[in-house]
Amino acid sequence: MDGAPDREVLKRVFAAALAAVDPRCALGPHLNEVRKLYRGGSFDRLLVVGFGKGALPMAHAAEEALLDDIAAGAVIVPRGSAAGRLPERVRVLEGSHPHPDEHSVTASREVVQLLQGVDARTLLLVLVSGGGSALFTMPAPEITLEEKAVTSRLLMEASADIFQLNTVRKHLSAVKGGQLAALAHPARTVVLAVSDVPGDRPEIIASGPAYPDPSTFADAVDILDHFDLLEKVPPAVRDRLVRGAQGQVPETPKPEDPIFAAVQTTIVSTNRDAKDAAASEAARLGLKVRLMEEPVCGEARVAGERLAQLALGERSRLRQGERLCLVSGGETTVKVTGSGKGGRNQELALSFAMAVAGEPGVALLSAGTDGIDGPTDAAGAIVDGETVPRAREAGMEPELYLQNNDAYSFFDPLGALVRTGPTGTNVMDLQIAVISG
């Protein structure tokens, strides 16, 4: 593969990264420990619940390791992803992602229903992965689903990051921010999580339903105020958050709450695992490797330009014939001002392509490890120095597409989109660049 085309190398490296974070592989050792705990403890019932883009393969892994012990279970997956062989003892329910709908709420109620009657002799296994915030949704009693969805949409369009978004979500929910742990108390609870957030913070993954919540109602109010949304969200949302900040609504469970003495949380797969696997595959293919430690975050179009300048700088230091693979990961945001179609990886790739237009020896793949980039059928895109010149020859002006948040329409006719289909995992995004001297 030493002389293989950049596009082929990028695809091979990305595929290796996805294989490394397959939940069924990552869960194995941890499920063995769960089995030992159950069979060696004073438990008489094992329940399994889960939610997220990785919930189906995680449920399969749980059944393979624990089948004879599972009394009942239910997991919530994105609509349309419950295909092929389904688990036997763990029900597969469908919800909507990235915006929850009534199916999400109905499925979430079924999950909560499973917890009725749990006691200290119950072992509860909770399987958490990215996308769980939308799929595991039960609005607080005075908030409607639509009011919560409008609030989330406003924050996303304002370019709120996952920390800000989930802080608000937790305080509009009956199950997020440690509240699932409260519902499951006094059961012994083991949480196995696939991380889709920078820093791998358990309180942020799927809005931390079984983890102590350090954020407050006051934090949620401050976030809405920061984005000038406090007067734009539905009145019931504003009223609940403001009353909560004034101490009139009970807070989410905090780290000192005794319920968490019976909860154990382990993160089984991360973006770093994917980056390490990508780096190993690139080295195996004969490339030098530079792995970036800092997460790629902020505005997608800004991050794309920054990565382009970094790649060009790396190229200037390579000797003729040398090839370098630059591996990074994280999660950017898109401030939606146009009416086009795309996702953060496609927008980042378009910005990168514009910055390296006409430059030889620089190619980039930016894609979501879940196989889904925004409301599209693509995971991301592959670009190089010829992408923008080819587009202009076809009468396409990249600046207009970027301005309209329409990267999908730009890349589709160029054959530059990366389509993997849903991968069953989610450890944020990867950016993989191949640079030739």
SS3 for 336-372 is CCCCCCCCHHHHHHHHHHHHCCCCCCEEEEEEECCCC
Nearest residue to 127 (alpha-carbon basis) of 23, 37, 273, 255: 23
Establish whether the linkage from the previous residue to 198 is cis, with ω within 30° of 0. no
Residue 101 contacts residue 142 (beta carbons within 8 Å): no
Tokens of 415: 């054959």
- pTM of the full structure: 0.91
Beta 380-384 vs 417-418: how paired, if at all?
antiparallel
Per-residue pLDDT of the chain (437 residues; tens, 9 = 90+): 444 589 999 999 999 999 999 998 899 999 999 999 999 989 999 999 999 999 999 999 999 999 889 999 999 999 988 878 899 999 999 999 888 999 999 999 999 999 999 999 999 999 999 999 999 999 999 999 999 999 999 998 898 988 999 999 999 999 999 999 999 999 999 999 999 998 999 999 999 999 999 999 999 999 999 999 999 999 999 999 999 999 999 999 999 999 999 999 999 999 999 999 999 999 999 999 999 999 999 999 999 999 999 999 999 999 999 999 999 999 999 988 999 999 999 999 999 999 999 999 999 999 999 999 999 999 999 999 999 999 999 999 999 999 999 999 999 999 999 999 999 999 999 999 999 99
- CA dist list (Å): 100 to 10, 151, 152, 270, 377: 34, 12, 10, 25, 19
At 353, the amino acid letter reads A
